[in-house]
Amino acid sequence: MNTAKIDPRAIRTRRLITDSFDQLMSYKDFDHISVKDITSLATINRATFYSHFVDKYELADVMLTEKIQEIMNEHFNCFEELDEKMIIKMFQSISQIHKNLFTNCRRGYDTFGQMIEEKVKEAITLIVSHLLKTDNRLEASMFSWALYGAFVEWELTSKETLEDFAKTAASALLQIIDTSLNEKIKVV
Amino acid sequence: MNTAKIDPRAIRTRRLITDSFDQLMSYKDFDHISVKDITSLATINRATFYSHFVDKYELADVMLTEKIQEIMNEHFNCFEELDEKMIIKMFQSISQIHKNLFTNCRRGYDTFGQMIEEKVKEAITLIVSHLLKTDNRLEASMFSWALYGAFVEWELTSKETLEDFAKTAASALLQIIDTSLNEKIKVV
DNA sequence: CCATATTTGTTGCTTAAGCAACACTTACTA
DNA sequence: TAGTAAGTGTTGCTTAAGCAACAAATATGG
């Protein structure tokens, strides 16, 4: 149990930092946000920032992890089938993550976008490898890359609804994990 | 020049205190608000409260002074005539003060109401004695008491508009300071 | 009315946050 | 491209805020 009571001042300061980072991100590109920007908006001392986070990348990392995890938990529980329906949900959760986090940044051209991509793919890899009940991450990883790639493709064109697009992509995605999936069925 | 830079932590803490006091006052009677109530809503330590204010009465005092002064400054500048028009403005400013501060308390039965009354009367006394260009506060004081009393009367009945009521009361009020007013005119 | 709980100020000690100065690494721009 | 500006981490020292425990004053309700 992590019952180590945290000093209320630390909680307050951390919240001030994360809040002002959120606020800055709504109208400024991550790469052009300085630590000074964050701390002066938060009305805290710059030195204090560094006693909470190593640098702004860690801050972004921590916040992304939290937010992405939060959205993922809303969408998935641990005992589901890896089928078309689930793939649709994966596309939708990525979409929601982008809606919530990409207020003003474009994918692939800044650090923040890269971090999101990395974390989302990792989250999906974990879910998939867990559902496949295997420690071998290879197929799960390829699956997540393919799925994320498909999503980016959809974002660029977005001719179909996300759900229709997901259905089209589903079969190819399921092919990737076909072997493991069959093994799992044999065992059952 | 009061250029004594204040520690940002103190500013923040003070704001937390005043904000939560404001919030508590919106649904709780002043007499039933404890220092603990204020500090736990503000998420600060009770001991810290006492390094900012002597007690909750001082807090209320300071906040009232600020808010009343603010409203008074909106309504009055120093170079006005003490006539019917000005008296109407006085009634109106009291009305506004009560609107802003009496979200949920009733006059005369709690400490807070008494404090408001005291401060408003003092503010009016100062304005009047300033306009009369005299150090003798007696008539100014009587004037302010009478005016405040009239306002309370209006609040109870409120048959007329405040402006009409103020016009009715004006002549009697001006009587009070008649002597000083005449002396002033003689001098001019 | 008396016992029990709650609130009030106060204190000594601990810790988080502020500050200023530092060397250093990127950005501008004349 | 040289030189100034702006940003980055880090440090030692100072100060505001947290905490727990205290006696004393006020509720409050059985």
Is the distance from CB of B105 to CB of B30 less than 8 angstroms?
yes
User: How much is the average pLDDT of B92-104?
Assistant: 83
pLDDT > 90 fraction of chain B, expressed in percent and rounded? 70
* Confidence (pLDDT) at B148: 97
Using the Cβ of A8 and the Cβ atoms of chain B, whether some distance falls under 8 Å is answered with yes
CB nearest B43 (choices: A8, A43, A45): A8
Question: Closest Cα of chain B to A151: distance in Å?
Answer: 43
Mutate to test the interface with A, among B14, B40, B41, B43 (most CBs of A within 10 A): B43
pLDDT the model gives residue A43: 97
Higher pLDDT, B112 or B142: B142
Mean pLDDT of B9-21: 97
The answer to whether B12 contacts chain A (CB < 8 Å) is: yes
Residue A32 CB in 7 A reach of strand D: no
Q: Residue B89 above 80 pLDDT?
A: yes
Query: How much is the average pLDDT of B36-44?
Result: 98
**Mutation for B interface: A5, A7, A9, A19, most B CBs within 10 A:** A9
User: Could you tell me which of A99, A103, A141 has the C-alpha nearest to residue A124?
Assistant: A141
Per-residue tokens: A6: 């945290």
With 80 as the cut, is the pLDDT of residue A175 above it? yes
Of A155-164, B95-104, B143-152, the range with the highest mean pLDDT is B143-152
Work out the pLDDT band at B186, boundaries 50, 70, 90: low
* Sequence-distant (≥ 6) Cβ neighbours of residue A33 within 8 angstroms: A21, A24, A25, A56
Query: What confidence score (pLDDT) does residue B158 get?
Result: 78
- pLDDT of A41 > 80? The answer is yes
B48 touches strand D (CB under 7 A): yes
Residue A106 has pLDDT above 60, yes or no: no
Would the CB atoms of B12 and A43 count as touching at under 8 Å?
Answer: yes
Is the pLDDT assigned to residue B105 strictly greater than 50? Answer: no
> What's the mean pLDDT in B153-159?
89
Q: How many residues does chain A have?
A: 188
Q: Where are the alpha helices (DSSP H) in chain A?
A: 8-25, 35-42, 46-50, 56-75, 84-101, 111-131, 138-157, 162-176, 178-187
User: Residue A99: its pLDDT value, please?
Assistant: 87
On average, the pLDDT of chain A sits at 89
Contacts of A12 in chain B (CB under 8 A): 43
Residues of A (33-62) whose Cβ lies below 8 Å from B: 43-45
pLDDT given at position B114? 85
B60 CB-near residues (< 8 Å, 6+ apart) = B21, B30, B111, B112, B115
Range with the poorest average pLDDT among A178-182, B48-52, B123-127: A178-182
> Is strand D within 7 Å of residue A106 (CB)?
no
Rounded to an integer, what distance in angstroms lies between the CA atom of residue A49 and that of residue A62? 14
Say what the pLDDT of residue A5 is.
Answer: 85
Least-confidence region, from A107-111, B110-114, B159-163: A107-111
Tell me, in Å, how far CA of B83 is from C1' of D24? 54
Our CA-based measurement puts residue B11 at a distance from the nearest CA of chain A, in whole angstroms, of: 10
Contact B45 A8 (CB under 8 A): yes
Q: Which of A64-68, A130-134, B133-137 has the highest mean pLDDT?
A: A64-68
pLDDT at B160: 93
Count CA atoms closer than 13 A to A10's CA, side-chain side: 8
Note the pLDDT of residue B27.
87
